């Protein structure tokens, strides 16, 4: 578009140099005021750590449960890709992480085909 300039998000200080700190979104530490990591970061950390350990792609998050000493994150992992996709083999993993988001343990709780419907 003519006549418009792209903003870089920074502001100019009195000396003419750009300062991004004044325009950055406030990014506090990942820990809340009590020193614990918030739920979204817990989930991200669990996904990253399981993907790294298994070498498999995490498909999604199935659940999150808080415990006194941390969290249990239930994630779905693609264990075997197939054609068609509906025959992919998936695994459900229970991942225990501490209050800082560090992996304590993980285990597969279920293995199933993508097209398999769970009956309650």
Domains in the chain: how many in total? Answer: 1
Place of tokens 């992992």: 77
**Residue 119, CB-side half-sphere exposure with 13 Å CA sphere:** 0
- pLDDT tens digit string along 21-54? 433 333 333 455 556 689 999 999 999 999 999 9
The three-state secondary structure class of 106 is strand
Residue 4 falls within a domain, yes or no? no
pLDDT at 34: 56
Over the stretch 52-95, which tens digit does the pLDDT of each residue have?
999 999 999 999 999 888 999 999 999 999 999 999 999 999 99
Give the whole-angstrom CA distance, residue 87 versus residue 116: 9
Residue 84, preceding bond cis, omega within 30 degrees? Answer: yes
Distance of CA 119 to CAs 21, 59, 114, Å? 52, 21, 14
Residue 19 lies in a domain: no
Q: What is the CATH number of the domain that holds 105?
A: 3.10.450
Does residue 27 form part of some domain?
A: no
The whole domain housing 115 covers 38-120
């Amino acid at each position: 578009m003519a006549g418009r300039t792209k903003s870089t998000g920074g502001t100019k200080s009195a000396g003419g140099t750009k300062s991004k700190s004044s325009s950055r979104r406030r990014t506090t530490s990942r820990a809340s005021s009590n020193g614990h990591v918030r739920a979204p970061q817990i989930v991200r950390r669990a996904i990253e750590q399981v993907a790294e350990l298994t070498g498999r792609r995490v498909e999604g998050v199935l659940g999150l449960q808080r415990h006194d000493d941390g969290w249990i994150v239930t994630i779905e992992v693609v264990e075997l890709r197939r054609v068609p996709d509906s025959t992919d083999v998936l695994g459900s993993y229970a991942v225990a992480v501490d209050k800082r988001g560090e992996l304590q343990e993980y285990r597969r709780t279920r293995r199933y085909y993508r097209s398999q419907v769970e009956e309650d």
